[in-house]
Homo-oligomer: A and B are copies of this chain.
Amino acid sequence: MANNKIGIQTIKLTNPPSIIAANAIVGPKEGKGPLAKNFDIVLEDDLYGEASWEKAESKMAIETVKSAVLKAKVYLEDIDYFVAGDLLNQLMASSFAARELQIPYFGLFGACSTMTEALSLAAMMVDGGYADYVVAATSSHFSAAERQFRFPLELGNQRPLTAQWTVTGAGAAVLTKNSGGPNITHITTGKVIDYGITDAYNMGAAMAPAAVDTIKAHLRDTGFTSESYDLIITGDLGIIGMDIAKEMLVKEGINVKNNFSDCGVEIFNHFEQDTHAGGSGCGCSAVVFCGYLYRLLKEKKIRKLLLVSTGALLSPTSLHQGESIPSIAHAVTIESNL
């Protein structure tokens, strides 16, 4: 069996890469939420000086990468790979960011699971000796996502209470060989899970079974218990999806009473901010991790974290063709020090 494989879906890294820097930029609404003080930049205007929301998202991706690389005390030229993705068709935000950054680029699409997909691949590249430095980054933008996936904002459509609010934000993390915590130690890669949900306004319910499947696989493969973790946090299940996931985990005998949360739940004051079921989007787990959780790991307020970004792999076309919503979740163990 391959050296680093410790189970059907899980690898253990031989030389766990360090995340030496992280950076998060968010939009105005996220800057009024409970995590506001953790973000490096809060935009005053979600156009960020650009002519379109899509270009604003790309600029967020560019600027968050540049800042993360600066914090890592290296140059853009030192970065071997830019591993990134977003929600826009053809990864418009990441691809145009890669044009500006001029770093060898692997584009990823895992919908809102992309942050842990990027961290997984980046960690393998560093651990395996293929790279000295890798940047993992993702972004999303509420206004760009709404008009691509749902309706033009100008229509003023009413959103059901199960709907989630796409986070405007971009996060980037710089990985290199072990030089102190936080370190990525284990990676569990998800399968596509589909329980038949067809309501694109209830993606938390669609994604919850995928999160549960990956968490179960992770615990099975590693021998860890849920209590091994200070925090298990999903990407963007939101309030409804998180409740479903917790209930499913408890039924499986997995205790997540006191150490389970969701980035989409944490990022907004849902009732005051009218964000209904919670935050979502590639940027959601990206900025909550790169802005907030990374600091808690650095300060050793969290010693062992399971970050489980969750993605709904639907497209407007697949929905129109009567398909249900396939979902996926990738889990990454991050420890504050080894």
- A residues at B contact (CB < 8 Å): 1-5, 9, 11, 14, 51-52, 54-55, 80-81, 85, 88-92, 95-96, 98-99, 102-111, 117, 120-121, 124-132, 148, 177, 189-194, 313-318, 321, 323, 326, 328
Contact = CB atoms under 8 A, between A and B. Distances in A.
Given A106-B117, A148-B317, 17 more contacts: A2-B129, A2-B131, A5-B132, A51-B321, A54-B317, A54-B321, A85-B109, A90-B109, A92-B317, A95-B313, A98-B191, A98-B326, A99-B192, A103-B191, A105-B190, A107-B313, A109-B109
Contacts of A191: 98, 102-105
Given A105-B190, A189-B106, A124 B132 contact: no
26 contacts: A2-B129, A2-B132, A2-B177, A5-B80, A54-B317, A89-B90, A90-B109, A90-B313, A90-B314, A92-B317, A95-B192, A96-B326, A98-B328, A99-B194, A104-B190, A105-B192, A105-B328, A106-B108, A106-B110, A106-B120, A107-B110, A108-B109, A109-B109, A124-B124, A128-B128, A128-B129
Contact of A55 (B4, B120, B194, B321): B321
Contacts of A102: 191-192
B117 A107 contact: yes
